[in-house]
Each structure stands twice: as C-alpha cells, then as structure tokens.
C-alpha cells in the first residue's frame, strides 16, 4: 500500500511558487516525485476538459492513464503531443496511480472509487456519489480548501454539483459580510450538464429544425430547440424538488459548513455549455451596495460584468471557456428593507468551473 499523494509530494511543495495568481510547477526535472494521474471517464465532456485543463495549467505528472468503459478501450487519445491507449476502467486500474480524476457517472464512482482509494490513491470525484458522505470533503477551493485535510477519511474528495459551485462562488464571499438568511435561485442550465451526447443532440435539433425534419430526441426524449424545461433529474415524490435542486440546497450547507436556507428552481435552456443563475440573497443584517460590489470584485474566481449603459451582463457566451464565474446585475432588492436583499445574475462555464476546473483545482491543492 502506497502512502498518500500528500506525503509523497510533500518534498515537491517547495518547488511551487505563486505566479500570476496561479500555481505553476517550476522544476519537474529535479528528481522530485511527480504524481501518476488517471482520468476515469476520459471520453466524456468533462474527461476531455480535464485533459485540456491539465495541459493549460501545466499540471505536474509522471504517468497519465486514460480510463473509460470497455466500449472505448483500445482507442487512442492524444495528450500534450503523446498518444495514449485508453484502458478499461476496472478495480485494478489504480495500483500505480496517485491522483484519480473521476467523471464516469455515479454508478462507476461507487463501483471503482473505493478500490482506487484503497490503494492510497486520492480520488477527486465529479459524481454525486460521495458528496453528502460525512467522511468525504465536498470542496470548492476558493471556499473550503481546509476541508481536504480536515474531512478526508476515505481518500475520496467530492466535487460539488455544477450549479452549486457556480452559485457558491459569489454567495460565499457575501456570506462573510453578513450571514445569509435565505437564497432564492432560478437556473438557466446548458445541455452540457447532461453530457457531450446531449450537447450534440441539441445541435442536431437545430439542424433538424432548419431542414424541416422531425427532432432527434434520443437523449432528452423531447424537443429542446426553441424550448426549455424543468431539469431532467428525478423529482423527489415528497419534497417535490428535483435532484438538481436538492443538491443545490444540501451541498451549499456542507460547503459553507453552516445552515444556509436555499430554494432552487432548475431549468434547462437551449444553450450549449454555460449555466446562468438568477440569485436573490437575503442578508441577516443590512449591507450597503458598495460593500456588496467591492466584495464581489475582490473575490477569487469572479469577474464582474455589470454595464447597464451597454446592457452588458453575464451571459452564456461571455462565460463559455472561461475559468471565472461572471457576476452582474448587482442591485438592491426593493421588496426587502434597505441593505437586506440583493439580486444578482451570474454565468459560469458548466464544464470548467462547474466540473473539470474545480476538480483540477482540488488536485492542485493535493500537491500542496
């Protein structure tokens, strides 16, 4: 049994330095041990984004292992100019792996993450399987990086739901100003949250419409083009909220480490890869708008787009492919006493900060 990555890599920590606000590996040829990395679910939308981000951020690694279902095993995939053969994801995939980035769905995570963790490998899991497990940290690096150390009892670190991460980014720094009494959130979610095939189906529906053909609807089973609909996760028969909404309510409390009452309405709109959210915040005590604006401006991972004259605000297009969550329409809610209520509108790349980027940031924390 190997020791954990943290101890394996502790000597390497000194080789890190802050550069341009981002950690960069300064010396990968000094004989320091670099982690062996595996990606489980490498052929999916998030899996592909993992590769792009690992390259873009110069994530230090020794070996890279590409894992997917038996269907994809044997195919080749290029990464940083080198060709890799995709291997089938099994219990035995992780013997020599230090960090495993999982994005192969909840059932695969439940099957294989414990086996990976048992070898001493640290799993960063994108699925919902371990998010509410009290022995697994649920981490947004800008908010609760400490949880990686204090809550990790299984070598599995959970990456929150995409809508939760994107909402938490502006809400948490505001929560530091005055405890948040209540959040009312309505989402405008992209097809990417349902995977690469769902994005292709939406695009195909646009072609179908132009060509006057019946809509292709293998994934969603409905017309998505020129339409929007309540999020396609299961609705809890008692609560009547769907799984996506319940994730936003419960995960936010775990990440903030306090009870933050959230109500959410999750809607899919015909957009490809960035989620938007209309967020109404109720503070427990008054905060003036300049403080709200300044706090959001200074918060990590946030870019303000708030130009009423030009009607320039966060939208899927200006968030797509970006690391930061875009925040705008910052205004004082007149339906509550002065300073108590605020409305904001935000946009975040669902595949980046909503999934792959947040997981890679967690992996970067593991190197520290």
Q: What is the dihedral of CA 128, 131, 135, 141, to 10 degrees?
A: 130
Q: How far is CA 320 from CA 226, 266, 312, 316, 354, in A?
A: 20, 19, 15, 6, 11
CA–CA separation, 276 and 165 (whole Å): 12
Q: Are 94 and 67 in contact (CB under 8 A)?
A: no
Window contacting its own copies (CB under 8 A); options: 6-14, 28-36, 67-75, 336-344:
336-344
Q: Using CB under 8 A, which of 1, 210, 212, 290 touches its own copies?
A: 210
Give me the catalytic one of 162, 185, 266, 276.
162
Q: Using CB under 8 A, which of 13, 63, 85, 209 touches its own copies?
A: 209
Does position 270 interact with its own copies (CB under 8 A)? The reply is yes
Q: How far is CA 177 from CA 40, 143, 173, 188, 296, in A?
A: 39, 14, 7, 27, 11
What minimum distance in Å lies between the beta carbon of 342 and its own copies?
10
Window contacting its own copies (CB under 8 A); options: 6-14, 48-56, 157-165, 180-188:
180-188
- Per DSSP, the three-state class of 200 is helix
Can you count the helices (H) and strands (E) in the chain?
Answer: 10, 18
Q: Nearest to residue 242, comparing CAs of 230, 251, 250, 254? A: 230
Which stretches of 240-333 are assigned E, i.e. beta strand?
262-265, 267-268, 274-283, 302-304, 325-332
What minimum distance in Å lies between the beta carbon of 128 and its own copies?
18
What minimum distance in Å lies between the beta carbon of 81 and its own copies?
30
Site for its own copies in 295-314 (CB under 8 A): 308-309, 311, 313
Window contacting its own copies (CB under 8 A); options: 15-23, 87-95, 334-342, 357-365:
334-342
Annotation marks residue 275 as catalytic: yes
Q: Which residues bind its own copies (CB under 8 A)?
A: 182-184, 186, 188, 206-207, 209-211, 223, 225-230, 232, 235, 237, 239-241, 249, 261-263, 265, 267, 269-272, 276, 278, 280, 308-309, 311, 313, 315-317, 328-336, 341, 343, 345
Q: Which residues are catalytic?
A: 162, 275
């Amino acid at each position: 049994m190997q020791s954990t990555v943290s101890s394996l890599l502790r000597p390497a920590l000194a080789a890190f330095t802050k550069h341009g606000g981002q950690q960069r590996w300064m010396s990968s040829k000094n004989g320091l041990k670099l982690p062996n990395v595996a990606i489980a679910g490498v052929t999916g939308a998030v899996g592909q984004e993992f590769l792009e981000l690992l390259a873009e951020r110069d994530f230090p690694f020794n070996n890279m292992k590409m894992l997917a279902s038996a269907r994809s095993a044997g195919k080749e995939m290029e990464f940083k100019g080198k060709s890799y053969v995709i291997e089938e994801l099994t219990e035995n995939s992780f013997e020599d792996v230090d960090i495993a980035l999982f994005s192969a769905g909840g059932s695969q995570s439940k099957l294989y993450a414990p086996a990976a963790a048992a070898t001493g490998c640290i799993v960063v899991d994108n699925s919902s399987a371990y998010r509410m497990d009290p022995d697994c940290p649920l981490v947004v690096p800008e908010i609760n990086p400490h949880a990686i150390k204090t809550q990790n009892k299984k070598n599995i670190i959970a990456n929150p739901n995409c809508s939760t991460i994107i909402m938490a980014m502006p809400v948490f720094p505001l929560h530091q100003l005055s405890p948040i009494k209540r959040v009312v959130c309505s989402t405008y979610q992209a097809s990417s949250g349902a995977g690469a095939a769902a994005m292709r189906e939406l695009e195909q529906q646009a072609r179908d419409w132009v060509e006057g053909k019946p809509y292709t609807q293998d994934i969603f089973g409905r017309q998505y083009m020129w339409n929007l609909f309540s999020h396609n996760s299961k609705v809890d028969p008692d609560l009547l909220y769907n799984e996506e909404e319940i994730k936003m309510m419960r995960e936010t409390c775990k990440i903030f480490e306090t009870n933050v009452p959230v109500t959410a309405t999750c809607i899919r709109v015909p957009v490809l890869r960035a989620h938007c959210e209309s967020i109404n915040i109720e503070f427990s005590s008054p905060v003036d708008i300049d403080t709200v604006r300044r706090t959001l401006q200074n918060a990590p991972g946030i870019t303000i787009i708030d130009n009423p004259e030009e009607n320039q605000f966060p939208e899927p297009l200006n968030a797509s492919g970006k690391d930061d969550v875009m925040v705008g329409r910052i205004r004082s809610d007149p339906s509550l006493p002065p300073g108590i209520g605020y409305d904001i509108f935000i946009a975040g790349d669902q595949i980046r900060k909503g999934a792959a980027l947040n997981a890679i940031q967690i992996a970067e924390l593991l190197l520290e």
